[in-house]
Amino acid sequence: MTRFQIPYGASAIELEIEADLLELGSGGIKTPIGSAELIRQALRKPLCSRRLRELVASKKDPKIVIVVDDHTRDTPTELMLEALLDEIGEEHRGRITIVVACGTHEPPSSEDINRIIGNKGGKFDIAIHNCDASDLVYVGTTSKGTPVRLNKIYVNADIRVLTGDITLHYYAGFGGGRKSILPGISGRETIQKNHALLVEEHARTAHIENNPVHLDMTEAASFAPPDFVLNVVEAGKGNLRAAFAGDMTAVLQSGIEVAQQLFSLKTHTTYDILFVSAGGFPKDRNLYQASKAIEQCYRAVVPGGELILVAECREGMGDPYFEAWMDAYPTFPETEEAIRTNFVLGGHKAYYLRKVMTRIRLSVVSELNAHKLARWQIKGFKSLSEILQGGKSNTCKIGIVPKGVDTLLVPASNI
């Protein structure tokens, strides 16, 4: 038997079992310098752009906006802000506003803000984006019919800076770049229209070619483009592998090249049982966020096999529409029809779960209500020991994924 530590909330739980560990390596990417220096190096050598300090100096008393990821991400925002403040210059500090890009997420608490921004919080004005705000600014309509309304503070700024991380995204292909604008600082209708494109064939993980969600996001961002972008690629919290700064398109393209190497894991087998951790807090703060790990990993489970999601979900389900749709639409065909005819943010998570459940069985180890999960045809457990009490056949092929949200399993049959 082998003993494994599986991330769960702020700690880990132990599992002793014979299994394959499906863990990402370095992707052949070496980073001989520290995270802070990696970020500063990117700022000193921006891609297809002048340095940020030069852009700021070209404006008289500029209003500067820096858009940062919200509390559902592990982005090293504090490190990025420290480097950006040094690059911009202390004399401009009073003209900087931080906009937290929440999309449709619940606003972060004061504790969340402290975690995101750290001890630099007192040096900036901080605004929490509200997708339902009455003062959003209309900037245009995309060729796919998405009306684009954006945060007023961002639109009216003289210098617009985006920050964030480039990682896998299950229908935009990858996060980063344009995603800080849509959905990050967009209106609810803008986000809904864009995300409704997820049912199309090319809207999938690690894929941007002809991806309608990505293309629509990019076009929307072009209506109020950033002056400068700083994005990083992390292989787990605190393990920075790359940083890129400058032009939005150049930064995203460079980051995607690194992310492709880091986050795609080819498997030469498929598994009867696959234990998948979302990766611990904040990735497993609720089922809405943690379910991304299911979408990234389920293709490595044999048809009819079982995926066991290990996610604390201290905040419960995470979205009322997701929960309501799981209650209302017990089959995939029903959910798919609802997505096509009455798209609602949150409902799309039910669409993905129901789609997965046509192929495999789902179980969840969490703090969630097991009776609620059972009504959705998902088995709920409070601990791994409950699962193991039933015993596992010695003939079962078992795999363990410790960082499911950031791991795309690619079975050999799909290569």
Helix (H) or strand (E) holding 242: strand 240-246
Cβ 47 vs Cβ 247: under 8 Å: yes
Q: What is the pLDDT of residues 264-305, one digit of tens each?
A: 899 989 999 999 999 999 999 999 999 999 999 999 999 999
Give residue for tokens 């985006």. Answer: 162
Q: Quick one: tokens of 33?
A: 């310098």
Q: What is the pLDDT of residues 158-205, one digit of tens each?
A: 999 999 999 999 899 999 999 999 999 999 999 999 999 998 989 999
Cβ 346 vs Cβ 288: under 8 Å: yes
Amino acid at 335: T
Percent above pLDDT 70 for the chain: 95
Higher-pLDDT residue of 120 and 251 is 251
Q: Are strands 379-381 and 361-365 parallel, antiparallel or unpaired?
A: parallel
In DSSP terms, which residues pair with 399 in a beta bridge?
20, 274
Q: If we measure between CA atoms, which residue out of 281, 271, 303, 277 comes closest to residue 292? A: 277
As a three-state string, the secondary structure of 69-117 is ECCCCCCCHHHHHHHHHHHHCHHHHHHEEEEEECCCCCCCCHHHHHHHH
The per-residue DSSP string of 315-326 comes to: TTTS-HHHHHHH
Start-end of CATH 3.40.50.11440 domains in the chain: 35-262
Give residue for tokens 């999938």. Answer: 204
In DSSP terms, which residues pair with 65 in a beta bridge?
97, 160
Question: What pLDDT sits at residue 306?
Answer: 97
Cβ 380 vs Cβ 236: under 8 Å: no
State the pLDDT confidence band at 227, using cuts at 50, 70 and 90: very high
For domain 2-23+268-414, the CATH architecture is: Alpha-Beta Complex (3.90)
Angle ∠(71,74,79) on CA atoms, nearest 5: 100
Q: What is the pLDDT of residues 98-121, one digit of tens each?
A: 999 999 988 999 899 998 988 755
Give residue for tokens 């980073």. Answer: 31
Question: What pLDDT sits at residue 412?
Answer: 74
The answer to whether the Cα torsion of 132, 137, 142, 145 is positive or negative is positive
Angle ∠(274,280,286) on CA atoms, nearest 5: 90
Q: What is the pLDDT of residues 5-64, one digit of tens each?
A: 999 999 999 999 999 999 887 555 556 568 899 999 999 999 999 999 999 999 999 999
Identify the three-state secondary structure at position 345: coil
CA distance 317 to 290: 10
Tell whether the model's pLDDT for residue 363 goes beyond 70. Answer: yes
Q: For 218-372, where are the E strands, in sequence order?
A: 228-234, 240-246, 264-267, 271-277, 301-310, 361-365
Tell whether the model's pLDDT for residue 148 goes beyond 90. Answer: yes
Neighbours of 330 (CB within 10 A): 13
CA distance 323 to 343: 15
Cβ 384 vs Cβ 330: under 8 Å: no
Q: Quick one: tokens of 279?
A: 């990766």
CA distance 166 to 176: 4
Burial of 197 (0-12, 13-18, 19+ CB in 10 A): buried
**Residue 3, CA atoms < 13 Å, CB-side half-sphere:** 3
Start-end of CATH 3.90.226.30 domains in the chain: 2-23+268-414
Q: For 343-414, where are the E strands, in sequence order?
A: 361-365, 379-381, 398-401, 408-411
Angle ∠(259,365,104) on CA atoms, nearest 5: 55
Question: What pLDDT sits at residue 124?
Answer: 78
Cβ 101 vs Cβ 139: under 8 Å: no
Identify the three-state secondary structure at position 143: coil
CA distance 165 to 144: 26
Q: What is the pLDDT of residues 301-326, one digit of tens each?
A: 999 999 999 999 999 999 999 999 99
Global pTM value? 0.84
Residues in the chain, total: 415
CA distance 50 to 249: 15
Q: What's the whole-number mean pLDDT along residues 332-359? A: 92
Tell whether the model's pLDDT for residue 391 goes beyond 90. Answer: no
Average pLDDT, the chain: 92
Pick the CATH number of 35-262 from 3.40.50.11440, 3.30.530.20, 3.40.190.10, 2.40.50.140: 3.40.50.11440
Cβ 353 vs Cβ 363: under 8 Å: no
